[in-house]
């Protein structure tokens, strides 16, 4: 049986949507959709010696200028050592700058430099074009359903952190 995509005849989910074939289809579509979404920016990042961890870091700092390093660690769910390596590279390349907190001098606050803002905006634009086209193809009602499924994948204790991004953006 050939897989159907939105450009072909739309296929409704089976009433037995919790069975293994439906779950596997969702996993495969999520994997390949994410892979193709990011494939276009991967080449640009690689040409600069950067990767997806650098992109995620730039993205979240752009979303929350002045983000504390500790908060970025929680958002990314990576080790201090991994984040230290990524931030070190981004700082060396003049894409990110660290400032000391005004109230608590122990805090390290993260900001994008003008070069970092330009790179993050370029990467975002590439992703925006692809995701906007997919949203338009699926239709407004599908977008909300897609968000609900993705939100359902996020553990309950982390949903507040994700919802805060929506309020701040």
Segment 130-159, tens digit of pLDDT: 999 999 999 998 999 999 999 999 998 888
Region 51-77 average pLDDT? 94
> The pTM is what?
0.83
For the chain, the straight-line distance linking the first and the last C-alpha, in angstroms and rounded, comes to: 42
Annotated domain spans of the chain = 33-138, 140-169
6 or 61: which leads in pLDDT: 61
C-alpha 162, offset from chain centre: 11
Helix (H, G, I), strand (E, B) or coil at 18: coil
Alpha-carbon Rg for the chain, nearest whole angstrom, is: 19
Query: How many whole angstroms separate alpha carbon 133 and alpha carbon 131?
Result: 5
Tokens of 111: 């900001």
Q: Which CATH class is domain 33-138?
A: mainly alpha
What is the model's pLDDT at position 3? 47
Kindly compute the dihedral angle of the four CA atoms of residues 128, 129, 133, 136, in this order, to the nearest 10 degrees: 50
Region 101-107 average pLDDT? 78
Region 103-126 average pLDDT? 92
Query: How many whole angstroms separate alpha carbon 99 and alpha carbon 111?
Result: 8
């Amino acid at each position: 049986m050939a897989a159907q995509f939105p450009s072909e005849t739309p296929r409704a989910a089976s009433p037995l949507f919790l069975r293994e074939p439906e779950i596997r289809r969702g996993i495969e579509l999520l994997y390949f959709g994410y892979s193709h979404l990011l494939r276009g920016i991967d080449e640009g990042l690689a040409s600069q010696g950067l990767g997806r961890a650098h992109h995620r870091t730039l993205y979240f700092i752009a979303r929350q200028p002045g983000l504390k390093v500790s908060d970025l660690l929680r958002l990314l769910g990576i080790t201090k050592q991994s984040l230290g390596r990524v931030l070190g590279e981004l700082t060396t390349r003049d894409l990110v700058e660290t400032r000391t907190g005004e109230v608590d001098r122990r805090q390290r606050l993260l900001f994008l430099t003008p070069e970092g803002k330009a790179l993050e905006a370029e990467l975002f634009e590439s992703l925006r074009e692809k995701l906007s086209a997919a949203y338009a193809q699926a239709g407004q009602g599908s977008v909300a359903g897609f968000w609900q499924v993705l939100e359902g994948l996020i553990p309950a204790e982390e949903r507040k952190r994700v919802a805060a991004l929506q309020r701040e953006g």
